[in-house]
Copies of this chain bind each other. A is one copy, B any other.
Amino acid sequence: MTVRVFLVDDHELFLSGVRGELADRDRFDVAGWATDVDDAVAAIRRLVPDIVLVDVHMPGGGGLSVIRNVTETHPDIRFLALSVSDAPEDVIAMIRAGARGYVTKTIAGDELADALARTADGDAVFSPRLAGFVLDAFAGTLPQPDDPELDQLTPREREVLRQIARGHTYKQVARRLSISVKTVETHVSAVLRKLQLSSRHELARWATDRRIV
């Protein structure tokens, strides 16, 4: 089964280079290409390719705009980001926008074809140096899922903690739990003391850091 590829890059020469490279391979069928964001979005919506190879840095919003616009209407189309930049911000931004992979332009033709094929199959492809960034950033979203400190808290205190972390006032928590404001204060004080914190703001940060909300 051939993979229908769409190319987006503001460099004509690079574009034709990729076209030439893919033309020799039976696996790929270059459905179309574009050199700016608006043309790309329109053409992709019309042609509905299997995968889009998109440059990151382009006038008019860059590859980010292309991915966001297209995925709104066609969430099934896959994106492989291609860039001269190996800056972590760029990589993270593209992945968060929905790109299924990210390779740098130093890549060889064979490798690019391999990356496209793998991405089309549902695999995730990153240039070696980039894979670390993505996984580090992802791992960083949850530092420690275990928490011996939470064991110090009674069930009721944990319940109050959750409510406070959500930003509710003492009064609101009291109503939700059908207890008095004074009881809420007692519980919050106990939690703050046990966790060595000093304010409900620190408490909220503490809770969101370990995803208790």
- The reply to whether B199 and A201 contact each other, CB–CB distance below 8 Å, is no
Chain B neighbourhood of A122, CB < 8 A:
128-129, 131-132
Chain B neighbourhood of A60, CB < 8 A:
none
Chain B neighbourhood of A167, CB < 8 A:
199, 201-202, 204-205
- The reply to whether A131 and B100 contact each other, CB–CB distance below 8 Å, is yes
Judged by a CB distance under 8 angstroms, whether A6 is at the interface is no
Q: Mark A109-147, 1 if CB is under 8 A from B, else 0.
A: 000000000100111101111011011011101100100
Q: Which residue of B lies closest to A141 (CB)?
A: B141
Chain B neighbourhood of A47, CB < 8 A:
none
Judged by a CB distance under 8 angstroms, whether A208 is at the interface is yes
Judged by a CB distance under 8 angstroms, whether A93 is at the interface is yes
Q: Which of A126, A201, A208 has the most CB of B within 10 A?
A: A201
Judged by a CB distance under 8 angstroms, whether A96 is at the interface is yes
Judged by a CB distance under 8 angstroms, whether A153 is at the interface is no
Q: Mark A139-178, 1 if CB is under 8 A from B, else 0.
A: 1011001000000000000000000001111000000000
Q: Mark A81-117, 1 if CB is under 8 A from B, else 0.
A: 0000000000001011111100000000000000000
- The reply to whether B124 and A131 contact each other, CB–CB distance below 8 Å, is yes
- The reply to whether A135 and B100 contact each other, CB–CB distance below 8 Å, is yes
Judged by a CB distance under 8 angstroms, whether A4 is at the interface is no
A77, B187: Cα distance in complex, Å: 43
Judged by a CB distance under 8 angstroms, whether A200 is at the interface is yes
What's the least CB distance linking A74 to chain B, in Å? 16
What's the least CB distance linking A109 to chain B, in Å? 18
- The reply to whether B98 and A199 contact each other, CB–CB distance below 8 Å, is no
Chain B neighbourhood of A201, CB < 8 A:
167-169, 200-201, 204
A58, B117: Cα distance in complex, Å: 34
Chain B neighbourhood of A166, CB < 8 A:
205
